[in-house]
A and B are shown apart, each in its own frame.
Chain A
Amino acid sequence: MAEKEQLIIESGDAAQPFKYAVGMHGSKFFTETRDNMRLMGLKCPKCGKVYVPPRGVCGKCFVEMDDWVEVGPKGVIGTFTILRFAFIDPETGQQKPVPYGYGFIKLDGADTLLQHYIDIKDESKVKIGARVEPVYAQERKGITRNIEYFRIID
C-alpha cells in the first residue's frame, strides 16, 4: 500500500424512501386540480392575502385560514429562470432533463407565487409579466404534475 494512499468508501446504491403527508389543505388543492381542473387558494381572514400553495396559517397574522377561493387558471410570470446545467434530481436519482423553464407563477387572484414548469419553446417570450395558463395532464393522479406545465399565451 502506498504510504499516502487516501481511501474513499462509497455508499453504493443505498436508498431510503420517504412518505410525505400532504395535509388536509394540500390534499384539497390536489384533488381539485385532479377532479375539476380548478386551482384553489386560502384567504387570510385578517389581512386578506390569498396563499397558493394553501397552508393552514397566515404566517404574518398567525391566524388559521379556512376561506377557500378559486384562483387563476391564468396568471403572469412573477420571476423565472431557464435551467441549463445538468444535475442529479434527488426526487428520482436520475439526471434531470435540461434545459427547462422554471417559473414562479402569480395566478390571477393569488398573492404568492406557485412554482411550476414553463414552456420554453420560444425563449424570447419567456419574460417577467408574460401571461400564462396551465396545461393539464390527461391522466391526473393528485400531485403537482396534474398540471404538466404553464404555457405563455401572449
Chain B
Amino acid sequence: MAKRVAIVGTGQTFHKSHRPDVNGQELINEAVQRALADADLTMKDIDAILIGNMDHFEGINYVDCWSVDGCGGVMKPVIKITTGGTTGASLAIGGYHMVGSGMFEKVLIIGWEKNSESDTTGAITTAFDPIWDRQVFAGAISGLAAEAQAYMARFGASDRDGARVSVRDRKHAMNNPHAQLRKEVSLEDVLASPMLADPIHLLDVCPRSDGACAVIMASEDSAEKICPVPDWIWGTSAHNTYSYLGDGDWGRLTSMEQCAKEVFKKAGIKEPRKELDVIEMYQPYSFAGLIWIEDMGIVGHGEAPQFVWDGNTDMGGELPVNPSGGVIACNPIGATGLIRCAEAAMQVMGKAEGRQVPDVKFAVSTGFGGCMWTNMLLHGKRKPN
C-alpha cells in the first residue's frame, strides 16, 4: 500500500520582523492560500492537515485548535507536530509518512511562527532542562558559540571563515522577495558587528521573524495530474543525539552525518558533492555553513572553509547552498525548516524564479534544533524507482 510521495505546491508569507497587521491564524491563512493557488487546489481536495510551531514562543500552545478557520482544518483531521527548531522539517517528514502510508491522498503541511510576540531567548531557554541546562544557558546562541569554538580549536578555522558564509547568504537573499533581511553585508561588516558570544558576531546569526509556510504533498496517484513537474521525495531521515547539552560531541554534528548517510544510500548517491545540485540547509549561524557541510559529506573535515572561499557554494558555483538566503536572512522558527523544504521543492519544480539554480535533479533540505538533532529530506526531479 506504500506510495511514492511528491510536493505539488508551496506557499510562503513575505517574512518580516513584526507583523502586527495579522494575528497567528491570519498569518497562517496567507501561506495556505498561496500553497493552494500554487497547486491549483481548494481545501476540498485536502484530506488532512499537519501544523506546528515552536512551543512557548507565543505562549499559546494549541495551534491545532485556535487556527482551524485559517488553516482550513474545519471538520478535517488536524495533527500538531512540534519539535523545536526542527518543527518545519519534522512536519514535512510527517506529511511524507502520512501520504506514503497510502492512508491520505493529499496532505497540507503548515509551519508558522510569530517570534515578535515574546522574548526569543527566554522562550528557547524553556525548551531545555530546568535543572541541568538552564543555569548558564543563553538561548540558541550560547550552544552554537560553543560549537563554533570547538570546531575552530579542532580544525584551525577563523571568524573570517564564518563571516564568509554570512556574506554569501545575505547576498543570496537579495534574490528572494520572501526573505526578511535583504541588504548585503561585507566581511568587514560581519567582523565589526557586536560580539554576542565568542566567536559569534551579530551578523553571524539568524534574525527572529514572523512568517508562515505551507506545502502540499500528494501521492503518486495524483501528483503528476496536479503538477507537471512535481518534487519527488526520495528519502527522509531524522536523528536526535543527547539528553543534556553537555553530552554532545562538540564541533561535529553527528546527527547530520547519520542522516546524510541514510538518505544518500536510499538514492544511491555516492558522491554528494557532484550528484547534488543545491542544498537548502537549516543553518542558524554562519559557522554551521562550514561544520555541517563537512558532516554531510560534501567535503572532508577541516576542508569546508577553503571550499566556501573558492565560491563553490555561491550561486553559480559547483553546489550552491541556500539560494534563498537561508536562515541567516530569515527565521520564523516553526516555519524555518519547512521553508527549506519548500525552497528545495521550488528548485526541483523550476519555480524558484530569481534564485533558481539551473537544471536541478537532486536537492537536499534540512532541519536543525534542540539537542543538535538533524532532519533531512532528499528531493528529486525523477520519480523514485
Binding site for B on A (CB under 8 A): 4, 6-8, 11, 18, 20, 22, 26, 51-53, 55, 59, 78-85, 87-91, 96, 100, 102-105, 112-117, 127-129, 144-145
Contact = CB atoms under 8 A, between A and B. Distances in A.
A115 B133 contact: yes
A89 to B, nearest CB: 8
14 contacts: A20-B130, A55-B243, A84-B195, A87-B122, A88-B121, A88-B122, A90-B123, A91-B135, A102-B197, A115-B136, A115-B137, A115-B245, A115-B246, A128-B149
Q: Which interface class (under 10, 10 to 19, 20 to 34, 35 or more) fits B?
A: 35 or more
Interface of B: 20-21, 59, 119, 121-123, 125-126, 130-139, 141-142, 145-147, 149-150, 153, 194-198, 200, 242-248, 250-251
Contacts, number: 121
Name the residue in A81, A88, A96, A128 with the highest tally of chain B Cβ atoms < 10 Å from its Cβ: A81
B145 A81 contact: yes
A55, A88, A145: which has the most chain B beta carbons within 10 Å?
A: A88
Contact of A79 (B122, B130, B149, B195): B149
Contacts of A55: 243-244
B27 to A, nearest CB: 13
Given A87-B121, A87-B138, A104 B198 contact: no
B119 A53 contact: no
B194 A113 contact: no
A113 B141 contact: no
A115 to B, nearest CB: 5
A135 B131 CA distance: 19
Contacts of B139: 87
**Which of B21, B134, B139, B247 has the most chain A CB atoms closer than 10 A to its own CB?**
B247
Given A26-B131, A112-B246, A81 B59 contact: no
Contacts of B245: 104, 115
